[in-house]
């Protein structure tokens, strides 16, 4: 069994308030959870209007399976025009 995490530092340039930021993040988190059945949370910058750090955790039968899942999540984030990803970091936890 493998456990992987991915951290995504991102900007939400269209956000003008914390309420707008929460709406965008809620949409992204709900879509990610329903499509990929993984854990996702905002880990930092909760008090900033346009900046966020999202954390994703997935587990599966192999590292290859987890990496493929994280690849698909990364592609989904890249395709979302509301979000600008500045940095992504992946790490195997177990």
Q: How confident is the model at residue 4 (pLDDT cuts 50, 70, 90)?
A: very high
How many domains does the structure of the chain reveal?
A: 1
Long-range CB pairs of 54-58 (<8 Å, 24+ gap) are 54/7, 54/8, 54/10, 54/25, 54/28, 54/29, 55/5, 55/6, 55/7, 55/8, 56/5, 56/6, 56/7, 56/8, 56/32, 57/3, 57/4, 57/5, 57/6, 57/93, 58/3, 58/4, 58/6
Q: Tens digits of per-residue pLDDT, 27-86?
A: 999 999 999 989 999 999 999 999 999 999 999 999 999 999 999 999 999 999 999 999
Tell me the CATH number at 81.
Answer: 3.30.70.1120
Residue 24 to residues 11, 30, 67, Cα–Cα distance (Å): 11, 10, 25
Q: What is the pLDDT of residue 94?
A: 85
Domain enclosing residue 28, as ranges: 2-92
What does the alpha-carbon distance between residue 64 and residue 24 come to, in Å, rounded to a whole number? 30
């Amino acid at each position: 069994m493998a456990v992987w995490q991915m951290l995504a530092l991102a900007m939400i340039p269209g956000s003008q308030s914390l309420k707008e930021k929460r709406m965008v993040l809620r949409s992204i988190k709900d879509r990610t959870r329903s499509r990929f059945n993984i854990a996702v949370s905002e880990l930092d910058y909760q008090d900033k209007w346009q900046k966020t750090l999202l954390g994703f955790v997935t587990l599966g039968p192999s590292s290859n399976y987890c990496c493929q899942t994280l690849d698909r999540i990364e592609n989904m984030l890249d395709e979302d025009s509301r979000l600008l990803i500045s940095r992504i970091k992946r790490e195997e936890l177990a």
